[in-house]
Amino acid sequence: MKKILLEMKNITKTFPGVKALDNVNLQVEEGEIHALVGENGAGKSTLMNVLSGVYPYGSYEGDIIYDGKVCQFNAIKDSEEKGIVIIHQELALIPYMTIAENMFLGNERGNKVKINWSETNSLARKYLDIVGLKESTQTLIKDIGVGKQQLVEIAKALSKDANLLILDEPTSSLNETDSRALLDLLLKLKKERNLTSIIISHKLNEVSYVADKITVIRDGSTIETLTKGVDDFSESRIIKGMVGRELSDRFPKRESHVGEVSMEVKNWNVYHPLHKDRKVVDDVNIYVRKGEVLGISGLMGAGRTELAMSIFGKSYGENISGEIYINGQKVNLNTVSSAIKHGLAYVTEDRKGNGLILSNPIKTNTTLANLEAVSSKTVIDKHKEYSVAVDYKDKLKTKCPTVEQNVGNLSGGNQQKVLLAKWMFADPEILILDEPTRGIDVGAKYEIYCIINQLVAEGKSVIMISSELPEILGMCDRIYVMNEGKMVGELDAKDATQEKIMTYILQSAGNKEENHE
């Protein structure tokens, strides 16, 4: 029988107005990959924050038994000293420092007077080789993609002699190729170094692929633990544990009633704000109709977000050229406020960084994009603001004790609902949704899909950018395929398949290589 490396017994954690964890139990064996799954707000991240010392001993009830000993962690450094290292969803790397500097930040090589750079770089190289990252240790973090940044975080964890690695949504920002590479690395580290991992993920196909065991958490309680080779590991079985019922159809049915063209973008070109000679959107022509969900598919870095933000009041890019027509009329959307006035809204993929003010309550965030509707002579009517927020909380089924609660205290799925509420209250005719379900669970996804269907049923237009091909295929009436700044394909939903979308991308990449030759 394998050794139990970690046992969390009867963990209970309470925040004001809500019990986040209720008598949770978890056992992890040495050398296994153990997945934690559950809906947003189920308590997965809270449990890991208890384990890693983010929530110190005394702020929760229950016991952490690690390597046979009861532990009382008062800070992250305490758990790291035992070999428990957590990698959060928001990577803790400093963009303008090198890979080596980031890896040993707070764990510097040398003495109190001087850093030993030779040792720093040689050790960094050693651990980068283990994770398969070829970049120079002197490369700045800002100059590598998110997938490679994840590898730096894992190398950094290994440099701290990690025995138990906790990864919170490690693939949420990665494309399918980078995601699979990361999961394969975890399997390799398990095999070659007997590394134990706990992975939190909403991507159930990845969980089934990589995990030896899956523990399901629902509403702050442990429901069950499934074992590979013994229990049913199918996505439908995992979903049943998560939501407490069968979810027979991931995408709600919708009758399509597509009308006239609501917005057309012609000959659209955008250059990078820092690298002025680099074109990130190249002569794009697209249109969307009333009552239509238009999908934009493509790999990470294809230029989808840059396109969306540049259309939305030129909020990204330099030297932007091209024309935009709304309801047949040419418009100049040179600012975000002019875009909003013309009935355009953009729901960012970065809800925490750009979409919401986390330190402000739900009610404040809900009305931010349309303050005129809740104010008189620049004075906000607090009663109206409150009632609007409550109305959207009920409409979107946002889970929170009160709209006075700070958005930063909500789960990812509920934050996403507040972000949607903010732009729905602005009453746009055209809504651009950038990765609207990133990092949220299947139950919350379904609710957001229902909201999208409701919007197009009202005759509004939705442009949906997503890296998840099943989502694009399941939700959209028509799909554009984008690669390296260009539109390389267009498909009606009835003709679209994952293979056709990937063929467009690969063919365009092949054509570009031939042209270079």
Query: Which band of pLDDT confidence, cut at 50, 70 and 90, is reported for residue 34?
Result: very high
User: What is 251-343+428-517's CATH number, 3.40.50.300, 3.40.50.2000, 3.30.230.70, 3.30.200.20?
Assistant: 3.40.50.300
32 three-state secondary structure: coil
Reduced 3-state DSSP string for 362-413: HHHHHHHHHHHHHEECCEECHHHHHHHHHHHHHHHCCCCCCCCCEHHHCCHH
- Is the pLDDT assigned to residue 503 strictly greater than 90? no
User: What is 1-83+163-248's CATH number, 3.30.420.40, 3.40.50.300, 1.10.260.40, 2.30.30.40?
Assistant: 3.40.50.300
Mean pLDDT of the region 380-389: 92
443: enclosing H helix or E strand: helix 442-457
Higher pLDDT, 245 or 239: 239
Tokens of 206: 């990845």
Mean pLDDT of the region 35-62: 89
Outline where 160-312 has alpha helix (H).
176-193, 204-210, 235-243, 304-311
pLDDT for the residue 350: 78
Mean pLDDT of the region 93-117: 90
Decide if 1-83+163-248 and 251-343+428-517 have a common fold: yes
> Hey, where are the domains in the chain?
1-83+163-248, 95-161, 251-343+428-517, 354-427
Mean pLDDT of the region 472-495: 93
Q: How far apart are CA 174 and CA 146, in angstroms?
A: 7
Look at strands 69-71 and 61-66 and give their pairing: antiparallel
**Among residues of the chain, what percentage have pLDDT more than 70?**
96
Weakest-pLDDT range from 452-466, 477-491, 499-513: 499-513
If you average pLDDT over every residue of the chain, what do you get?
Answer: 89
Indicate the residue type of 470. P
- Is the pLDDT assigned to residue 494 strictly greater than 70? yes
| For the ranges 90-99, 120-129, 242-251, 434-443, the one whose mean pLDDT is highest | 120-129
Query: Which band of pLDDT confidence, cut at 50, 70 and 90, is reported for residue 479?
Result: very high
Dihedral of alpha carbons 207, 212, 218, 224, sign: positive
Q: How far is CA 260 from CA 91, 256, 400, in A?
A: 43, 13, 39
- Is the pLDDT assigned to residue 513 strictly greater than 50? no
214 three-state secondary structure: strand
The strand order across the sheet containing 61-66 reads: 18-29, 4-15, 61-66, 69-71
Weakest-pLDDT range from 32-36, 164-168, 242-246: 242-246
- Is the pLDDT assigned to residue 516 strictly greater than 50? no
- Is the pLDDT assigned to residue 517 strictly greater than 50? no
- Is the pLDDT assigned to residue 473 strictly greater than 80? yes
pLDDT for the residue 404: 92
Buried b / exposed e over 24-41, threshold 16 CB at 10 Å, is bebebeebbbbbbbbbbb
The Cβ of residue 223 has, within 10 Å, a number of other Cβ atoms equal to: 16
Mean pLDDT of the region 12-28: 87
**Residue 360: closest CA among 401, 416, 415, 408:** 408
Query: Which band of pLDDT confidence, cut at 50, 70 and 90, is reported for residue 509?
Result: low
pLDDT (tens digit, 9 = 90+) per residue, 312-336? 999 999 999 999 999 999 999 999 9
- Is the pLDDT assigned to residue 474 strictly greater than 60? yes
Outline where 107-197 has alpha helix (H).
117-131, 146-159, 176-193
Q: Provide CB contacts within 8 A for 472, sequence distance 6+.
A: 295, 297, 464, 466, 479, 496, 501
Q: How far apart are CA 492 and CA 496, in angstroms?
A: 6
Mean pLDDT of the region 117-132: 92
Outline where 249-375 has alpha helix (H).
304-311, 336-341, 362-367
Tokens of 219: 């509403």
pLDDT for the residue 239: 81
pLDDT for the residue 17: 67
- Is the pLDDT assigned to residue 119 strictly greater than 50? yes
499: enclosing H helix or E strand: helix 498-516
Higher pLDDT, 447 or 491: 491
Mean pLDDT of the region 51-72: 94
